[in-house]
Structure 1
C-alpha cells in the first residue's frame, strides 16, 4: 500500500514535457508500456489504473527490472517534446528485501551509464545499505520512508530535488590537469539544500589548489578552491580511508575479492578502523595499584543487608516468606522413611538388585 501511494505521488508530479514508464517486478516483470509515455492527463490516468491493479506477491528480483528499464527501446527517446535533451532518472521503489548485492552492483555499473538511480526504501524490510550504495554508484540518492504518514512529503521532496539539480557531472582536478586521490570516484550530483561530501587525500605540506567543474543548466562551470589558509584537522584522514574502503567493497566480485580484502585489511590496519577484515581490541594499561610498593590503611564502612535492624533493638536479619523450618523437618522425615523402606526390601529379596526408574 505504501509503495503504491508513493508511486501515485511520483507520477502526479510529472510535467507535460516529461516522459515516464512504470515497471512492476517480483519474480517476473510487467511494464505499463513498451516505450516511454508523455506525461499527458490521458497517460497519467492509464498509469493510475495500472498502479491500482498492482498486488504485492512473490519476491524482489531487481535485476530483470533494471535491465528492462535500460533496454534500447527505452533509451531511444532521448529528447522531450520540445526537442530538449533529457537526463534519464530511474526511481527504484520497494518495500521488500533485496538480495544478490554484488551481482546487482555489477549490473548497475554496466548498464546505467549516464543515467541516475534514485532508490526509495519503504518500511523496515528493504536493504538500506545496498540501496544507499547502489544510488551512490550512479550519482543518485537514497530515500528512506519509515512510516506511511511520511510517504507524501518525502516523495514530493525527492521529485522537487531531482527536477533541477544545481550541479551535475562534477569532476575534480589539479591546475596541471592531474586528478587527485578522491573518493567516491563517481561524485553524485549536487542538489539544493543537500550537502555533498568528497574525501581527498593530499600531503598537508603540499596542498595544491583544486578545480571543481560541472554543468549548471547545461553550461560548463568551474571554480578554483585554494587551501593555503586552511589548517589540517585531525580525523580527516579517517574520512578518506572510510570512503576508499566503501568504494573498494562496492565493486568487489568473485575475481577481485582476495585482492580487495587485502587492500581493505591494509587500510584498516594503517588507520585503525573497524572493517570487514579488521577489528579493534580495547586494552586497559592503567595499573591496578599505582602504589604497589606501599600499603594503604583505610577504614571501610560496612554495608548492612537491606532490612537489617540496628540500634537499640537486637540485630535481626530479614526473614524469608516461607516456613523453611517446617519444610526441612518434613523433608528429613520423608528421607528417613525412604531409607527404612529400602532396607526392608533388601531383606525380603536377597541376591536381587532393585532398580528404580523414573519415566519423564
Structure 2
C-alpha cells in the first residue's frame, strides 16, 4: 500500500485556548485532533480543534467544536474514521462526528469529577476507556447509553487509563497515589468497599488489580504501554523522572482487607531517566521503535529518550524547546517514523521531525 508523502514540520497557533492533549488519526496520516480549554482549564469553555497538515509550512485549521467546560483529552474511534470522543472538566464524555453539525452524537455524564483521560482500544475496536479524578475508570461502547462497567481503580485521582495493545482485556492506570495498576477485565467486576465497611476491604477480592506497581513516592501523571514488548510500561510524573517497568517481575504481598487475601505487587524498574526540570505530564512510546519514547513536561520542553544508552552514556536523544508555556501533550505519528507533535498552554501545536 502506497502512503502519501510525509508532511513537513508545522506550527499552528490557536489563540485563546490552552491545549491539553492531541491525537493523530488512525485513518489519515495528516489529520490531528486537539483538546483545549479556555483560561488554562481553570474555568470557562473548551474547544475541540481539527487540524490537517498540508504541503506548506503550517497546519491548516479545520472544524472546531465548542463545549461548556474545558476539554482535557481526545481519542479517535478505531472503527469510524470521522468519529472521536472528548473528555471534559465537568465529568462528561462526548462522541463527535466531524461530518455532521456541531452537536455531539452522544453525551455521557456518569463521572462525578473531571475526566482526564480517554483511550480507544485498538484490539476491541468497539470499546474505549475513561479515567477520572473521581477515582474510577469506566469502559464504554459508543453504541450504549451507559457505561459497560466501572473499576473503582484508585482511592485518589486517576490521571490515565490505557488498554494494552497486546492483551484486549488488560488495562493499566496511574494515579495521585503513586502507583501503576494493571486490571484484567476477565476477572469478576471490581467491587467498591461495602457501605460502612473497613477501608480497603473488597467484597470480591479477585476483582482487585491484577498487579500494583509502587512507581513513585509522588503523583504518577502519565503512563504508556510499549508497543513491541508486552507487559513493559513507562511512567512519569511529579518526581520529574521517566521510568520503564517490566511488569512480569511480580511477587505476592499482603493484600488489603481481611483473611488471607494477597495482592500481586512489584514490577522491575528497568530504566530510570532523569533530565526534566519539572513534572512530566505525558509519556508515549514510539509506534515504530521499541526503545524510543517521548515526554512532555511543565519545564516547557518535549524530549525524546532511548532506553539503550548512547555512546556518551546518556538516554536523552533530543530536546524540543520552542514552547513558551507548559507542554502537556505529545504524540508520535502513526504513519511516519520520527514525526512528533507537541502541544501546550501557549496555544501552540508543533509538528517536527526528530
TM-score (norm 2): 0.26
Higher relative contact order (CA 8 A, sep 6+): 2
Please tell me whether Structure 1 or Structure 2 has the larger radius of gyration of its CA atoms.
1
The structure where strand makes up a greater share of residues is: 2
The structure where helix makes up a greater share of residues is: 1
